[in-house]
Amino acid sequence: MNTLATGTRVPCAPPAYDTSLPSLPSAASPINFTARRSPLINRGYYSRVTALDKIIKQFLQVCQKVGKGSQIVSLGAGFDTTYWRLKFHHGLRADKYIEIDFPSSVAQKLLIIDHCPALQQVLATDCSGRVEGAGVVNGAVVPGVEITMPSAAGDDNASTDASTDAGASPSAPAGALYRRYDDYGIVGGDLREVETLGPLLQLAGADPTLPTLFVSECVLVYMQPHFSTQVIRWAAQGPFSGPVLFATYEQVHPDDPFGRTMMAHLANRGCALLGLLEYPDLPAQKQRYLNQGFDQFGGWTMNDVYSNFADKRELMRAEKLEIFDELEEWHMIQSHYAISVAYRGGRGEEWRALEAQAKGAGRAEGQASATEETVYDSSAPLQWFSDVAYINKRPPRTPAQGAYNYQYIN
């Protein structure tokens, strides 16, 4: 699944749609990722990346104004390069950026990082270079993964086993595969084993007191519904005391002709959408997140996102790269993918006081001062945390998408 997803990302790398670093597999992979993809697929993936990037950037900007730190947790991260793109191209960083995926994917990603100087250079920026752990899965050394990486100070005594790490919990799987830099951590785990997620993220350096943004790109929808719901409940009700946001990109609307074809196609490729029938659209997702402990929910189809929230000058540039006239098909595809953001307020008197102050500043102030690049530019930026149903402060326009005009929800 990770290989299929990465093959779609590569055509969006430079010099085409994005100005990001080369995708991870370009450094070491037996798979040929150079095959041309359909312009519809390329532009769809481009709209996905830019929309999620905007949410992440705005989260970091608000956290910087609030002054309480920031943390991003990427669920099922695969070969995603968001951490590198944020730092290398945008000069942005979270205090903690944590990735979790199956140990096999983590092992391959660590191998690629070890053999890619460009990735190592970005990791070395603003961090000591000290690495803890990595290299052992269920007591066996993973081939090709370096077990230790000495720091600049010559500390070559990094831990290789979760069970021997001072911060490990009894619930952490023995021999967990992980690495931890100052602001980046990666750990192998199974999202279906929700009781292990807290200890595993702690191994990778997660801080439960920080405002946290969870990012899930086409991950939960591939899980059995009871497993994915457990992850959502854990994010809302688990150990995180700061505000929690949960941003998701995944498929919707399985019950029309295109949706049924999409479901069958992915099932034939061995990656069935196991959770889509139970939660088929944004209203169902809204109820799901609210039932599991989140306070608010905002959701948009990619038609809404592309037409209402994307930077128009950037869209004009991207649309000139590959021109196509299959607009009906384009809107149909985009109507079957959606982005949602759920929010849960911070716990404790300090966070409650901050949020009350932010709400007291008034929504009107934020609406009057919002721009294309900033959701809220007010004296109380924490207001954005409790206002996730708006990516930009302007009324949504209805795109010319014919029969595929699915509404957004907030």
What local confidence, expressed as pLDDT, does residue 260 receive?
A: 96
Q: Which of 112, 110, 68 is nearest to 348 (CA)?
A: 68
Tell me the two tokens of residue 30.
């037996």
Number of domains in the chain: 1
What local confidence, expressed as pLDDT, does residue 229 receive?
A: 98
Q: What is the pLDDT of residues 327-365, one digit of tens each?
A: 899 999 999 999 999 999 888 888 888 777 766 654 444
Unique residue bearing structure tokens 């993936």? 45
Entry pTM:
0.79
The CA distances from residue 241 to 56, 68, 72, 151, in Å, are 20, 12, 14, 32
Q: Which residues pair with 297 in a beta bridge?
A: 342
- Write out the residue range of the structural domain in which residue 372 sits: 38-70+210-404
The answer to whether position 97 is within a domain reads no
The answer to whether position 48 is within a domain reads yes
CA atoms within 13 A on the CB side of 276: 24
The answer to whether position 169 is within a domain reads no
CATH number, domain of 311, equals 3.40.50
What local confidence, expressed as pLDDT, does residue 355 receive?
A: 75
What local confidence, expressed as pLDDT, does residue 176 receive?
A: 87
Q: What is the pLDDT of residues 20-77, one digit of tens each?
A: 444 444 444 444 555 677 888 898 898 899 889 989 988 998 888 888 899 999 999 9
The answer to whether position 52 is within a domain reads yes
DSSP string, 127-192: S-------SEETTEEPTT--S----TT--------GGGSTT--TTSPTT--EEE-SSEEEEE--TT
Q: Which residues are CB-neighbours of 286 under 8 A, at least 6 positions away?
A: 297, 299, 340, 409
The answer to whether position 15 is within a domain reads no
Unique residue bearing structure tokens 């709400």? 359
The answer to whether position 75 is within a domain reads no
Q: Point out the residues of the chain with pLDDT beneath 70.
A: 1-35, 124-172, 358-410
Q: What is the pLDDT of residues 270-290, one digit of tens each?
A: 999 999 999 999 999 999 999
The answer to whether position 276 is within a domain reads yes
What local confidence, expressed as pLDDT, does residue 16 receive?
A: 55
The answer to whether position 28 is within a domain reads no
